[in-house]
Chain A
Amino acid sequence: MKKLNLFITLAVLAVFLVVPSFLKNYGIHIFTTWLVFIIATMGLNLTVGYAGQKSLGHAAFFGIGAYTVAILLKAGFSFWLGLPVAALICFFTGLALGFPALRVQTIYLAFATLGFNTALWLVMRNEEWLTGGTFGINNIARPSLGGISFDGNLAYYYLVLVFTVVLALLLWGLLRSPWGKAFTALRDNAIRAESLGIDTRGYTLLSFAIGAVYAGIAGGLYASQVQFIDPALFTVGASIMMYLMVVVGGPGYFLGPVLGSAVGVVLPEWLRFAQAWYLFIFGAAVVMLMIWLPDGLLSIPDRIAARRASREASAARAAAAKAAQGVQA
């Protein structure tokens, strides 16, 4: 199973390395967007999938990241300053948003985070002096580093790929450390976790904060990618879409966001022929998925393994019962 996972990860990486160089600008744009959403949903997967905190405000952090980078670039600062600042702001905002989670859970927490997203969206729309209001911010520059310009679409794509790989490795390291178990314990049973000395308050807050950092970096990268942002990109609807990506891919599965973001970003392109029917098809697919695969697409191998194990167990029981009958007779 571990070897299979490694093989799949390497195969996915190979696709991301090779395929875009054969694509035209539009294809590269789709791939870059896919990566950006992988980064954002990796963070949400930590908050929702691993730590079990229902957050419907992720697009707000994505927006904070995008606006921070855009505003700082417009003010003449470097992209390489803008991105860490965006991450830092998101960390502390995420920490703050974590506090309601200490008091309310499940659907109530989802509503609290949704309210946060709406409030932030209103700031983006109404504070014209800062955000440009509904007109947004345009002509956002792309960065360069040590003489290498990332102005070209393919060059920028590879820059985003480097960010994705580094952030994925960092998250993987975090989840492999004792933190990963603490997050899972918090998700599965917070009361039991606390009785074992796990600081559930700390881990809840940090799951929000770290998740928000990923969204913020993704937002910053997205601003430079599309070079034009407006508040419409960061609505509650966008948060729900990101949540769906996590759920569809498989919450708590490391590669879930890769698949989930593909469903959210790439699939709509393939379903273009369906035009207005697209949302119907997408919606129907999600409904069916929730009925038959509530743990997401990546739960399929686990389900097959569990089915096999239960079949073997029942065969063993049947054999034992038969043997016992034989003894009695």
Chain B
Amino acid sequence: MTHPHQHNRPEGAPVLKVTDMKKAYGAIQAVGGVSFEVRPGEIFGVIGPNGSGKTTLFNSMLGQITPDEGKIELKGQDVTKCGPLELNRRGVGRTFQTLQVFGKMTVRDNLIVAAQEHHGSMFSRMFAPSDSGLGAKADALIDQFHIRHVAHKKAGELSYGQQKLVDIAMAFMSEPDLVLLDEPCAGVNPSLVGGISTLLKDLNRTRQGSFVVIEHNMDFVMDLCHRIMVMVEGKVLAIGTPEEIRSNKQVLDAYLGN
């Protein structure tokens, strides 16, 4: 199988640069010295068995926890100690492993609230129109995600798969430079997995954003990502293209196991 974006693999100064990151919980070294870069426009996959430190790494990049050692840089600026709010304002969007839509708001309002705080000050927003002038942008994403028929329904009333789509769309509303996707396929019906993959490729192509994807669905990761990092026991086992990872003997032994 040839990889869809293999021939235009992105290059340039990294959007995200993680240097020698370490985080321990008591005696357990969850992440023990991880370094990698995500380039502009790149879809970067992170895989590894349970307990390999993916989530700890992810939470550090999102400002949920502060690493013990190491450095995280976003577009050349040190953001190691930034919290989730600050990181979002600096251009990091995310999705969650479990559903996190605002159930009592309509789908369209979910999208609008996902970007409204990026416009003006808190005070000026008091006098801003209800949709913060983001209606057209929300509608464009609604069409791109094929959720037009439920746009005015409350998000909590939708099916799991539809809510997952809303959740992903929300991460893109504020036009982030970097989007961290935490298991976008978890709990999703197999027929929708292909749809999500296509959507993410489209978004990557049209918006030139960089994505970091954690996912257990191997076919999905191999098909979607430009490069993949394999983690085992808090360390990087290998970084490479899907083909390189697939044929890496260490990875096969440690993880893929077939």
Contacts and interface: CB of A to CB of B under 8 A. Distances in A.
Interface of A: 174, 176-182, 184-185, 188-189, 191-200, 202, 252, 306, 309
B102 interface: yes
B128 A181 contact: no
Interface string B63-100: 00000000000000000000111001100011010001
A198 B62 contact: no
Nearest to B174: A197
B113 interface: yes
Nearest to B104: A188
B113 A182 contact: yes
A200 B157 CA distance: 25
Contacts of B89: 197
Contacts, number: 84
B116 A181 contact: yes
A174 B126 contact: yes
Contacts of B118: 197
A194 B157 CA distance: 23
B47 interface: no
A188 B103 contact: yes
B161 to A, nearest CB: 15
B218 interface: no
Nearest to B100: A192
Interface of B: 62, 83-85, 88-89, 93-94, 96, 100-105, 109, 112-118, 122, 125-130, 132, 157, 170, 174
Contacts of A181: 105, 109, 112-113, 116
Contact of A197 (B85, B112, B126, B127): B85
Name A's interface SS: helix
A178 B100 contact: no
B104 A184 contact: yes
Most B CB within 10 A of own CB, among A196, A252, A309:
A196
Contacts of A252: 104
Given A178-B132, A191-B100, 13 more contacts: A178-B126, A179-B126, A181-B113, A182-B116, A182-B125, A184-B113, A185-B105, A188-B105, A194-B88, A195-B84, A195-B88, A199-B122, A202-B122
10 contacts: A178-B116, A181-B113, A182-B116, A184-B113, A188-B104, A197-B115, A197-B118, A199-B85, A199-B122, A200-B85
A202 B85 CA distance: 12
Given A195-B62, A195-B94, A197-B88, A177 B114 contact: no
A176 B126 CA distance: 9
B105 A184 contact: yes
B170 A196 contact: yes
Contacts of B93: 195
A181 B127 CA distance: 13
A202 B88 CA distance: 16
A36 B48 CA distance: 61
B212 to A, nearest CB: 14
A199 B120 CA distance: 13
Contacts of B94: 195
